[in-house]
């Protein structure tokens, strides 16, 4: 159990376009999902906490107008990178916590590799 | 400085035991985790330990926690080539959907 999927797994886009990444919890409902960004040879940095039915909570230094998060249902959160630039190229990973586990155990999606040309 | 630190690289031979170490700074950490990341993939939760425990064993994996020294280790017994991956230590502070702080990861290379 506790499977989290992401789509697409990789995407290449032109500079200036917007890209939407989906994160789904397949076998559980998640009121809270998390979005991370991973740079090469670096750790994961939390970007934002996505809350179902309310606004996302962004970490310091993350532009909320650039990284739009929508958590429209208990199984789906989306991250839209608006007006993407080459420096936005990265590996984006989402996670979710199944209910009944105190919110302490996060299960991660397989990640989405974004390349902006 | 980093809140969670790990050595960057470990090389072992197949069949040996691997020990990956991690130190953290926040004494209010409540849960400590080990995640595995294979090339190009997301993170797989391996195991976690609550801060009031000092050891947890799960098949080939043994987690040791020294809360006084804020030191966490992951021991993999009978390491296999399939264990080659990056291992991340992470900690969370507080209860209920708290966020994770990750170390930079330790790359484990297992040679035949």
What are the pLDDT digits (tens) for A49-86? 888 888 899 988 999 999 999 998 999 999 999 999 99
**Model confidence at B85: pLDDT above 80:** yes
Q: Which of B40, B42, B103 sits opposite A108 (nearest CB)?
A: B42
A108 interface with B at CB cutoff 8 Å: yes
Angle at A106 between CA A100 and CA A45, to 5 degrees: 150
First-to-last C-alpha distance (Å) of chain B: 37
Record: contact A106-B45, CB cut-off 8 A: yes
Pairing of strands A19-25, A76-81: antiparallel
Q: Provide the pLDDT for residue B1.
A: 45
Alpha-carbon gap: A49 to the closest alpha carbon of chain B (Å): 8
Instruction: Report how far residue B92's alpha carbon sits from residue B96's, in angstroms, rounded to the nearest whole number.
Output: 10
Q: Provide the pLDDT for residue A1.
A: 64
Record: contact B100-A106, CB cut-off 8 A: yes
- Least confident residue range of B60-64, B93-97, B104-108: B93-97
């Amino acid at each position: 159990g506790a499977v989290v999927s992401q789509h697409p797994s990789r995407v290449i886009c032109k500079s200036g376009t917007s890209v939407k990444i989906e994160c789904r919890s397949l076998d559980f409902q998640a009121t809270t999902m998390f979005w991370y960004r991973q740079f090469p040879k670096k750790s994961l940095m939390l970007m934002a906490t996505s809350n179902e039915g309310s606004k996302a909570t962004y970490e310091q230094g993350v532009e909320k107008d650039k990284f739009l998060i929508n958590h429209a249902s208990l199984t789906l959160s989306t991250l839209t990178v608006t007006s993407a630039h080459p420096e936005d190229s990265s590996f984006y990973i989402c996670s979710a916590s199944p209910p009944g586990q105190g919110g302490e155990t996060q299960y991660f999606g397989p990640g989405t590799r974004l390349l902006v040309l | 400085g980093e809140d969670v630190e790990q050595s960057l690289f470990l090389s072992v031979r197949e069949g040996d035991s691997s020990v990956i170490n991690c130190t953290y700074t926040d004494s209010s950490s409540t849960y400590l985790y080990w995640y595995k990341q294979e090339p190009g993939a997301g993170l797989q939760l391996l195991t976690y330990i609550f801060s009031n425990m000092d050891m947890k064993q799960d098949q080939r994996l043994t987690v040791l926690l020294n809360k006084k020294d804020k030191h966490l280790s992951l021991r993999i017994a009978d390491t296999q080539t399939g264990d080659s991956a990056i291992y991340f230590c992470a900690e969370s502070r507080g209860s209920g959907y708290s966020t994770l702080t990750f170390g930079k990861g330790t790359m484990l290379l297992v040679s035949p």
